[in-house]
């Protein structure tokens, strides 16, 4: 009688045991896939931010060269905003993915870039697409 009782317990408890085993297997597989997908997403997002910042930096360096070669007194405000943008870009924490003010600093850089474009009277169109990124005027 005791042997049949254990057999029935095994049958009754099988659902609970299989549920626990399935949960554990799913959790382990999900954790592994989550890490892989997280790295892929982080790499893509980081590349987009890097491309955007690099575009702003190239734009700023080109305009600094243009404005320094023929600077007039009325260009002093443009140069001041330009140097401010370059300083913000150079202080941007490229190598610290845990930097907690990354998006705030990025928004400040975008705002300074828009201010500079307004002063220079250019209409930028920054696009990130599958073909690549670019800044057109």
In this prediction, residues 13-34 reach a mean pLDDT of: 82
Angle between helices 102-120 and 2-69 in degrees, nearest 10: 30
Long-range CB contacts for residues 110-117, cutoff 8 Å, separation at least 24: 112/81, 112/84, 112/85, 112/88, 113/56, 113/59, 113/60, 113/85, 115/81, 116/60, 116/63, 116/78, 116/81, 116/82, 116/85
The C-alpha atoms of residue 122 and residue 115 are separated, in whole angstroms, by: 10
- Tell me: pLDDT of 135 over 60: no
For position 109, what pLDDT does the model report?
Answer: 95
The C-alpha atoms of residue 135 and residue 137 are separated, in whole angstroms, by: 7
Interval 108-127: pLDDT, tens: 999 999 999 999 989 887 66
Q: At a CB cut-off of 8 Å and minimum separation 6, what does 11 contact? A: none
Interval 69-102: pLDDT, tens: 776 777 788 899 999 999 999 999 888 878 889 8
How far is residue 90 from each of residues 24, 67, 81, 116, measured CA to CA in Å?
Answer: 47, 20, 14, 17
Give φ, ψ of 128 to 5 degrees.
Answer: -120, 120
Helix (H, G, I), strand (E, B) or coil at 126: strand
């Amino acid at each position: 009688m005791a042997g049949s009782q254990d057999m029935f317990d095994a049958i009754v408890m099988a659902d609970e045991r299989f549920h626990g085993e399935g949960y554990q297997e799913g959790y382990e597989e999900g954790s592994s896939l989550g890490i892989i997908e997280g790295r892929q997403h982080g790499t893509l997002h980081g590349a987009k931010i890097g491309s955007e910042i690099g575009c702003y930096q190239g734009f700023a360096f080109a305009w600094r060269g243009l404005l320094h070669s023929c600077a007039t007194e009325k260009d002093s405000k443009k140069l001041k905003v330009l140097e401010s943008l370059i300083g913000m870009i150079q202080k941007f924490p490229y190598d610290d993915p845990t930097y907690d003010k990354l998006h705030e600093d990025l928004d400040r850089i975008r705002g300074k870039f828009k201010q500079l474009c307004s002063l220079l009277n250019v209409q930028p169109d920054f696009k990130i697409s599958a073909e690549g990124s670019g800044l057109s005027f």
